[in-house]
Structure 1
Amino acid sequence: MAEDIGASIRRRVDYTPIHKRAPLKLPGEARVAVWTIVNVENWSPNGPMPRAVLPPPMGQPLLPDVPNWAWHEYGMRVGFWRFLETLSSRGLRASFAVNGTACEVYREACEAARDAGWDFMGHGFIQRPMHRVEDQKAAIADTVAAIRECTGRPPRGWESPGLTETDETLDLLAEAGIEYVADWVLDDQPVPLQTRAGEIVSVPYTVEINDVVISAVQQQPSDEILRRGRDQFDRLYLEGAKTPRVMAISIHPYLTGVPHRIKYLEQLYDYILGHEGVVMWTGAEILDWYRSQVPAKG
């Protein structure tokens, strides 16, 4: 069974080395398209936390988990608004990966993201791996409906909680009208993925310039997002002289939105914006650019 699933996953995407593809062109001969993903999730204090900053006393999980829930909740009460100011003051818009239930729980934040012109992406209905969702089709539909109710339009993109997918997830997303996904962290350019409902595009996402990995998993110093992000950009900018690259910056309000990290995100943006030949886009804008150059088959 494992081999069959692996073969099914590989059949969705052709193996084409980046140096053997037809050349792409960014506007104005730009080298790099940079997109920011702000992740907003609904954590329940009555269940195990997706992430924890404090281990449970004596190693025994205790519910409700008030300290770890509150750690996350700080991000929505304070950290998110730092993100909004950081991006808006620089004329930048984010892609907004949001749980469907968060559209109601954090209504004011979602409306602020909408009013700022951010690109809403589905991020599951609740913060739970897709493998543990009993009815993925219904959860996807509920997420799309919640975003449409908040913004007036359905999301075009999707990022699964924890980047998790089952063998059927991609098909269900395409059938629900989703046009691009961020789960397949396998390239520096968009690539088409095959589904039973036609192609869906993988827009390059990141597990490296991602504050869950940097701050929560690896527990790196507060300035790591700046140092790693600057190095990532420098290399993509160099390579982008031959063929354009896409850089993602993935952030969460409870991690990079805290006082001792936010200035390093601001410095990263200022560093990138100090270069010519860069476009600061949303996931939907990257999708539209790619489709203008590589039309869908069929």
Structure 2
Amino acid sequence: MSNDWPRIPVRDRVPYNPIVGRRFRLPNDARVAVWTIVNVENWDAAGAMPRNVLSPPMGQPLLPDIPNWAWHEYGMRVGFWRFVDVLAARGLKASFAVNASAISAYPAACEAARAAGWDFIGHGFVQGPMHAVADQREAIRQTIETIRGFTGRPVRGWESPGLTETDDTVDLLAEAGIEYVADWVLDDQPVAIKTRSGNIVSVPYTVEVNDVVLSAIQQQPSDAILQRGRDQFDRLYQEGATVPRVMAISIHPYLTGVPHRIRYLEALYDHILAHDGVLMCTGAEILDIFRNQANDR
């Protein structure tokens, strides 16, 4: 595929289609499908950190940035394992958005996700915006091959680091065989996205029930994921009586995996699981429900 091909305008990729009147249904007449995305990233200790919990003294950045790198590293040494326990105790599987380079950096965590049957999805090869990748096609290929070599299974989904895309990203993902993406946060149901290689599907993701936004950017209290997540679910559950919805919960080990937040994630799951008509899914399972109804044609 040539990068000289005409660009497809964003609005042409996802023509406006209001949620009322659609044919999408969930199995057993469920009201809401809920999926969890566990994000695992490989931060380079020698480079600038993607997120900061501690600003540099006198505003002068220093490298290596040990405090902020170590803040993230705590998540991989400790916080991640809390996620494994919380999900396993409730019989839940996550979608595992992983930098492919994290497979060698954090092998025990990736082995645990594989053993738990989580749905591995590409999250770039290293943690950095797609706009900064010199060769996106090669980075996507390398990511897919590394993950597939580790799991022995096709890589069906993709979440770009920081949800970043260029004009070509979704075309290159479809060309590489990716079936669904989490970058397009524009609906409460799956949506078909037009690419040069046919349709790819947007499985509803979240920037609001997402601990990067809640804890790292907005700096909300420790219980914010419970308060906002419960309110999100309750409204979707109410609306789902007539029009089924999808809810995403996006978590990172260094944020929600810390001792003062993990109890609120547990409470959110327990609140959701106390309701009938809820389908706990992975991203790939939501994709299959959507495609089996020919909604992306």
Does TM, scored on the shorter chain, surpass 0.5?
Answer: yes
Query: CA deviation digits over 1:121-170, x for unaligned, max 9?
Result: 00000000000000000100110011011101231000000000000000
Q: Which amino acid aligns with 1:158?
A: W
Give matches, 1:69-80, under 5 Å.
69-80=69-80
Equivalent-residue separation in structure 2 for 1:27 and 1:295 (angstroms): 15
Instruction: Give TM-score, length-normalised by structure 2.
Output: 0.97
Provide the residue aligned with 1:47 in structure 2: 47
- The answer to whether residue 68 in structure 2 is matched with residue 68 in structure 1 is yes
Provide the residue aligned with 2:3 in structure 1: none
Q: Secondary structure at the match of 1:193?
A: strand
Equivalent-residue separation in structure 1 for 2:261 and 2:124 (angstroms): 27
Deviates more, 1:143-152 or 1:70-79: 143-152
- The answer to whether residue 192 in structure 2 is matched with residue 199 in structure 1 is no
- The answer to whether residue 127 in structure 2 is matched with residue 113 in structure 1 is no
CA contact (8 A) 2:35 2:281 kept: yes
Equivalent-residue separation in structure 2 for 1:61 and 1:25 (angstroms): 51
Q: Secondary structure at the match of 1:69?
A: helix
Cα shift at 1:296: 4.1
Q: Identity rate of aligned residues, in percent?
A: 73
Equivalent-residue separation in structure 2 for 1:114 and 1:293 (angstroms): 29
Q: Which amino acid aligns with 1:112?
A: A
Q: Secondary structure at the match of 2:90?
A: coil
| RMSD of aligned Cα (Å) | 1.1
Provide the residue aligned with 1:89 in structure 2: 89
Q: Which amino acid aligns with 1:280?
A: M
Cα shift at 1:230: 0.3
Provide the residue aligned with 1:11 in structure 2: 12
Equivalent-residue separation in structure 1 for 2:296 and 2:239 (angstroms): 26
CA contact (8 A) 2:39 2:96 kept: yes
Aligned residues: 292
Cα shift at 1:20: 3.1
- The answer to whether residue 149 in structure 2 is matched with residue 149 in structure 1 is yes
Equivalent-residue separation in structure 2 for 1:26 and 1:9 (angstroms): 28
CA contact (8 A) 2:290 2:296 kept: no
Where structure 2 has 5 or more consecutive residues not aligned to the other structure, the ranges are 1-5
Cα shift at 1:101: 0.3
Cα shift at 1:294: 2.1
Equivalent-residue separation in structure 2 for 1:96 and 1:231 (angstroms): 25
Give matches, 1:121-160, under 5 Å.
121-160=121-160
Where structure 1 has 5 or more consecutive residues not aligned to the other structure, the ranges are none
